[in-house]
Amino acid sequence: MSAAYVLAAVRTPGGKAKKGKLKDVRPDDLAALAIRALLDRSGIDPRDVEDVLLGCAFPEGEAGMNVGRIAAMKAGLPHEVPGQTVNRFCASGLQTIATAAERILAGGADCVIAGGTESMSLIPMGGQKFSANPGLAGAWPEAYASMGITAEIVARKHQVSRADQDAFAAESHRRAAAAQETGRFGDELVPVAVETAALVGGKLRKRTETLAADEGVRRDTSPEALARLKPAFQVDGTVTAGNSSQMTDGAAAALVVSEAFLARTGLQPLGRFVSFAVKGVPPEQMGIGPVEAIPAALKRAGVARGDVAAFELNEAFAAQALACVRALDLDPARVNPLGGAIALGHPLGCTGAKLTATLLHELRRSGGRYGVVSMCIGGGMGAAAVFERS
C-alpha cells in the first residue's frame, strides 16, 4: 500500500462574517481563489488533478449547485476534472482531505484537490430554510440542540468556569496576534482582492481592497475585558460571544498526492497523511467529540499522545476546547500554538482544511514530527486526523 501526502496547503484569511471585507464575496469564488493559488504555488499541471472534493456545511444559495464542481471550473481547471461537495458540518474540510488520502491509499487516484469553503455572511447558520425532522425532534430533541446550549452543558458537566473560559479566549487572541506579527501565517495565506463600487457625486467609483490577514484577532483584549460580556445563550450561563468561535468567511485547499506522483514530479511534500477517525457522541454534548476522535486516530496511526508536537483543536467554544484538553490531558502549550478559532475564526466547512494548512506549515517551521487536526461537529460527533512532517 502506498502512502498519501499533502503536497501543498493554502487558505484565505478569515473575514468577519457580515462585517468584514469578505461579507459580499461568494464562497465559490473564495474556493476558486484557494484552488488557483494551490496550483500556482505547487507548480503542477492542472491536467494531473483527478478530482476536486470541497467541504461546505451549508451547501445552498451561493454555495449550492455542487459548489465543488463550480469552484473547480471557476479556478480554471480543465472540464475533464470533476468536482464533489462534501458535508460533515464542522469537519467537512478535514473529511475531504481524509477521503482524498483514502482514495490514494486504495490506489484509486494519484492527485486530488481537497478543501472547504463557507460564507457565513451569505448563508446563515441553519441554512435559508431550517426544517427539523418532526419525528426525530419529537423523539430525540437534543439532536437539534443549539450549539451555544451544548457548550453550556459541557461547561457545567466538565466544571469549566467562566474565568477559565475567558482566560483561554484571551490567550487565543494573544497567540494569534503574536503569530501575525512574526509572519507565521505567511506561507499558508492567499490574499483576497475585493472590488467594491459606490456612487460618489453621481459617478460610480470602484475601489479594490485586499484582505491579507485574519480580521478577527483582537490585540487589546484581556480576561478582564472578556469578563464584562453578558452570556450569549443562557441568562445564567458562562458562554459569551467573546469566548466562542467567530462567525467567519473563508476557504482553504490542499493537494493530496501519492508516492508515485511525487516520484514522477520530484516535488517535496509538506507532510504525510497518517490516519483519520470520526466518532459520535451525545448531540447535546457535541463539544466533547475530540475526546473520542483523537485517541482513535492516534491508535490507528500507532502514535503516542506525547509524541504529537502540535494539536490544531478547533475552538468552537472555550468551554468545549478546555474540556477536551483536560479530558485528554494535553499539554496546553502544544494546543493551538498560533491561536485558534476564538481569534482566527471558524468558517464551518472550511475549518478542517484551514487547520491542516496551519498545522503542516507550523510543523515545517518548528521541526515537530507529528501533528493532529481535530474538531467537534454539530449533531454530536468528533473528527481527528494525524499528519507526519515530511
**CA dist list (Å): 173 to 63, 330, 353:** 30, 20, 21
Is 56 noted as a catalytic residue in this protein? no
Catalytic residue, candidates 90, 111, 324, 350: 90
C-alpha 232/C-alpha 241 separation (Å) is: 6
Give the list of residues 6+ apart from residue 95 with CB closer than 8 angstroms, or none: 55, 86, 88, 278, 352, 383
Catalytic residue, candidates 111, 324, 350, 376: 376
3-state helix, strand, coil in the chain (%, to 5): 40, 25, 35
| 33 φψ region: left (φ > 0), alpha (ψ -120 to 50), beta (else) | alpha
Give the position of cell 481563489: 33
Q: Between vectors from CA 324 to CA 318 and to CA 325, what angle results, nearest 5°?
A: 85
C-alpha 182/C-alpha 338 separation (Å) is: 11
At 217, which amino acid appears? Answer: V
C-alpha 232/C-alpha 244 separation (Å) is: 9
C-alpha 94/C-alpha 352 separation (Å) is: 4
Q: Between vectors from CA 330 to CA 189 and to CA 246, what angle results, nearest 5°?
A: 40
Q: Give the count of beta carbons closer than 10 Å to the beta carbon of residue 289.
A: 31
C-alpha 352/C-alpha 96 separation (Å) is: 9
Is 350 noted as a catalytic residue in this protein? no
Catalytic residue, candidates 158, 173, 346, 361: 346
Q: Please report which helix (H) or strand (E) contains residue 269, including its range.
A: none
**Which residue, 241, 226, 276, is CA-closest to 384?**
276
- Partners of residue 254 on adjacent β-strands: 9, 114
Give the list of residues 6+ apart from residue 205 with CB closer than 8 angstroms, or none: 197, 198, 199
**Which residue, 34, 112, 133, 74, is CA-closest to 349?**
34
So which residues are the catalytic ones?
A: 90, 346, 376
